[in-house]
Amino acid sequence: NAGVTQTPKFQVLKTGQSMTLQCAQDMNHNSMYWYRQDPGMGLRLIYYSASEGTTDKGEVPNGYNVSRLNKREFSLRLESAAPSQTSVYFCASSEGGGGQPQHFGDGTRLSIL
């Protein structure tokens, strides 16, 4: 079972470049999430999508945009990358919202030079 698939696994960007992180889930889950994980700071929610067609800001949305392309796919875009966005990015999904357990992808390790 694939679960949650993230691409790419690694990426190096220069300051000011743009890129899109892709995420797809095959569990027919309604809710999807994007987090960033930095040393000593746990997981911080960037954006989430409670259901297809809706997106909402999380704790740290500045500098990011998202698109819920369909029920399976939820992408995260950095329009103008900054060194402060160097992090490991995780996509997750859950059957519903309401604090239901989340299933995570293996992450995208992003470095901004």
Partner 1 sequence: TQLLEQSPQFLSIQEGENLTVYCNSSSVFSSLQWYRQEPGEGPVLLVTVVTGGEVKKLKRLTFQFGDARKDSSLHITAAQPGDTGLYLCAGVSSASKIIFGSGTRLSIRP
Which residues of the shown chain bind partner 1 in the complex (CB under 8 A)? Answer: 4, 35, 40-45, 90, 92, 97-99, 101-107
Minimum separation from the CB atom of position 59 to partner 1 (A): 9
Provide the minimum distance between the beta carbon of 96 and partner 1 in the complex, in angstroms, as a whole number.
9
* Distance, CA of 106 to CA of 112 (rounded, Å): 19
Tokens representing 6?
């993230």
Residue 40 CB partners (closer than 8 Å, separation 6+):
none
Shortest Cβ 12–partner 1 spacing (Å): 17
Question: Which one, 5 or 67, has the nearer CB to partner 1?
Answer: 5
Cα separation of 85 and 83, whole Å? 5
For 39, the 3-state DSSP assignment is: coil
Least separation in angstroms between residue 76's CB and partner 1 is: 15
Q: Which is nearer to partner 1, 48 or 64 (CB)?
A: 48
Of 52, 50, 39, residue with least CA distance to 97:
50
User: Which is closer to partner 1, CB of 53 or CB of 99?
Assistant: 99
Q: How far apart are the first and last CA of the chain?
A: 35
Cβ proximity to partner 1: between 17 and 55 the closer is 55
